Each structure stands twice: as C-alpha cells, then as structure tokens.
Amino acid sequence: MAIFSPPVLTRRALGGLCAAGAIGGLVRSARAEDAPPSVNVSGTFPKLQFDMTLASTGKSVTGADFHGHPVILYFGFTRCPDTCPLTMHNAAELVKSMGKLGTKMRVLFVTVDIEHDTLPLLKAYMANFGAPPVFDGLRGTAAQTAAFAKRYGVGYSAPTSPDAPDPVSAISHTDAIYAFGPDGAARYIIGSLADARPDLPAIAGIMRPLARRAA
Amino acid sequence: MKRLLYVLLLLPGLAQAGGTISASGARFRYLLPQIPAGGYVTLKNDRDHKIIVTGASSPACGMLMLHESKDESGMAMMMAVKSVTIEAHQSFSFAPDGYHLMCDKPLMKIGQMVPVTLAFADGTSMVIGFQVGGAGTQ
C-alpha cells in the first residue's frame, strides 16, 4: 500500500485569505475555540461573480443569476470524507433552522476536483444535503474554476485523472465558507460551519437579515 | 471465521483480545458508492498498558485508512496517520473534524451494520460493528 502524504485542505482558507486580503489576522483569530462563528468581510472581498455550470440543470450560470438570494459559497470536492460533508450537513441544518427564510438561501458547492466530479455526480452528492434551488453544485472548466477560486483567494490542486488512485494525496485546496448578501456583496466568512458543533443559532442570526432582503 | 465475525457483531464492544477494549458510537457517514464514507468510533482502553491502533480494514470498504483532519501552519488539512495510541485507562474518539476512518469505495447501505477490524500493534485485532448512517451522521 502506498504511504499517503498530505494534504487535503478542508477548512478555512487561511492561506488563501492571507494572500487575498489584509484580513488574515481577523480570520486567524476566528479559528480559536472561543472565536465568533463568523467574520464580517463586507467591503474587503469581491462581489459574487463567476461563470460556471450548474449541477442540477447542466446550464451555464453566472454570479448574477443568484442575485436576489443570500448565497453560501463553499469550495470542496466530493471525495473529501470528513469535513466537506460535515460542512454541507451543517449548512443543511442552518437552512432548516431558518424556516421559511431558509428557502431564500442558496448553498453552492464549487468542486475543485473537476475531473472526478462530473455534473451528475455533483448533483447526486448535493441531493444528500438538500434539493435545488437551495442546494446546488457548480462545476467549471479548468480556466473557469481557476478564475473563480483566485477571485476568493482559494488555492487548490487536483488530479488530472478521474481514476487517480489516492484522492487524499492528490487533491488539496484551501477552503472557506463565504456568505454573500442578496445584492451579491461578500458579507461574512463563516468558518464555524466546518466545525463538528457549529453555533447554528448565531449563524442563522447573521443570515436572517440577509434572507429578509431576498427577492 | 465468518461465524466468529457474527458472534463479535452481536457483542459490539467486546474486544477480541483481552476483553478490555470497548467501542461505542461506531458509525459511518455514507453518501454515495463512489464517494468515501467517513467512519467514527470511540474506543475505551481499560487495559493497564497503552494500545496502538495500526490499521483498519472492512469488507464494506475497498480500502480503509486512518485519517486526521487538522490545522497545520494556518491551513487545515487531512492526512493519513500511521497509528493512534490510546494510553492505559483512556478513551479516544474518532470524531468529525478530527481523527476518522476513511472508507474508500464503500459497499454499504444506510441502516446496515458493517464490520470493521481494527489492528493493534501487538498483533491482536478487534471487530466492531459500524452502523451506517446518511449525510446527517455526526
């Protein structure tokens, strides 16, 4: 058996964030055990903008297609066995806890493993957590994915073959959970959504005002 | 061997060797056949000496590995670990967002109980029944 080496990066884009902006210190402090569940990044991160393909429909979408809804954006990959499904499940619980306002939310899972994560697989994966249009996956070409990730300071590397034997050593990505307002403006990084015991009421508390302004 | 396996499954928590290692809360989070399932369990070592978990295997997994999700140098990552040591009279939890078992190519269904064999450094092993749950398995 091969000896597996790191890394799969599955939480909080610290490296990426530091590269992307001057808020590294803020985010770093947000990682402490007693840290707030989110960090306000209003004005420091770019608006929601991308060109990708939507898993549920197979159609091309842009960031503008999600304006009118608060968006939770997550970069991950389906072969990640621990924190990616944990994060998506937490997002599902968050949406449920918001009741009717939860239906205004859009939770978008962006795959960084485009060779493995086909649109049908991404669609089936997201169905584990919720139905579209609230839960959906985004897949792009290599260039589209790279541009999207770069915009939000997410670094990743992924295998070039869908049959790469060891996804753990082959895929790595910095990972963060971003929340955007219905106007597309970046509002929060919700690091705690990747925790085993997230403070969902606190996260719902910051998302509800955004959802109330939804279309 | 098969009969022995089922006997052990009927008595979850009984160690095959020594009888003083117990397991609780053993479960897999299963999503899809082509996606690795995460396995979690709490082990209690009531022996008077430490035990070292050196590996895991299961007929329900194409490959089963010990993994850890952890933060390193300001970045969070998941990596394979060679062993896990549980000191005498201590408990250790494989739990979400920490140590876990990564079951590649899972052959299981939600609601099933599947066997997992943990191997220890002293050459002994232990079979534990893992309950298979869905996306909400915590």
Q: Provide φ and ψ at A18, rounded to 5°.
A: -60, -35
pLDDT at A71 over 90: yes
SS3 B45: strand
Check A168 against B37: CB less than 8 A apart: no
The residue among A82, A113, A116, A173 with the most chain B CBs within 10 A of its CB, best to mutate, is A82
**Structure-token pair, residue A44:** 């420091």
pLDDT at A41: 87
Q: Which residues of B touch A156 (CB under 8 A)?
A: none
* Chain A CB contacts of B70 below 8 Å: none
Main-chain dihedrals φ then ψ at residue A96, nearest 5 degrees:
-60, -40
Say whether pLDDT at B37 is over 90.
yes
Amino acid A26: pLDDT: 34
Answer whether residue A8 is part of any domain.
Answer: no
Indicate the average pLDDT of chain A: 80
The CA–CA distances, whole Å, from A43 to A40, A107, A185, A186, B122 equal 9, 21, 8, 7, 57
Which ipTM did the prediction report? 0.70
Average pLDDT, chain B: 85
A33 part of a folded domain: yes
For A141-159, give one letter per residue: b (16+ CB within 10 A) or e.
eeebbeebbebbbbbbebb
Residue A2 placed within a domain: no
| Number of compact structural domains in chain A | 1
* Euclidean distance between CA atoms B37 and B65, whole angstroms: 11
Question: Does B138 contact A196 at a Cβ distance shorter than 8 Å?
Answer: yes
Contact A128 B134 (CB under 8 A): yes
- Quick: pLDDT tens for A115-153: 889 999 999 999 999 999 999 999 999 999 999 988 988
Q: Say what the pLDDT of residue A20 is.
A: 31
The boundaries of the domain holding residue A72 are 14-212
Confirm whether A3 is domain-assigned: no
A-proximal residues of B, 67-126, CB under 8 Å: 67, 69, 71-72, 74-80, 95-98, 100, 102-104
Q: Tell me whether residue A60 is in a domain.
A: yes
Say what angle helices A83-97 and A200-212 make with each other, to 10 degrees: 60
* A153 within 8 A of A16, measured Cβ to Cβ: yes
Shortest alpha-carbon distance between residue B109 and chain A (Å): 14
| Per-residue pLDDT, A4 | 32
pLDDT value at B93 more than 80: yes
The residues of A whose Cβ lies within 8 A of any Cβ of B are 1, 3-12, 14-15, 18, 28, 31, 78-83, 85-86, 88-89, 92, 121, 124-125, 128-129, 167-168, 172, 174-175, 194-196
Domain of A167, CATH number, reads 3.40.30.10
Instruction: Report the gap between the CA of A82 and the closest CA in chain B (Å).
Output: 6
Chains A–B, number of C-beta pairs less than 8 Å apart: 116
Q: Alpha carbon of A40 to those of A184, B53, B109: distances in Å?
A: 15, 42, 41
Contact A79 B135 (CB under 8 A): no
Distance from CA of B108 to the nearest CA of A (A): 15
Nearest C-alpha in A relative to B77: A9
Q: Which residues pair with B70 in a beta bridge?
A: B77
Output the pLDDT for position A31.
41
- Please report whether residue A175 resides in a domain: yes
| All structural domains of chain B | 2-131 (2.60.40.1890)
Considering the domain boundaries, does residue A4 fall inside one?
A: no
In a domain, A6, yes or no: no
Does B76 score more than 80 pLDDT?
Answer: no
State the residue for tokens 């085993």.
Answer: A196
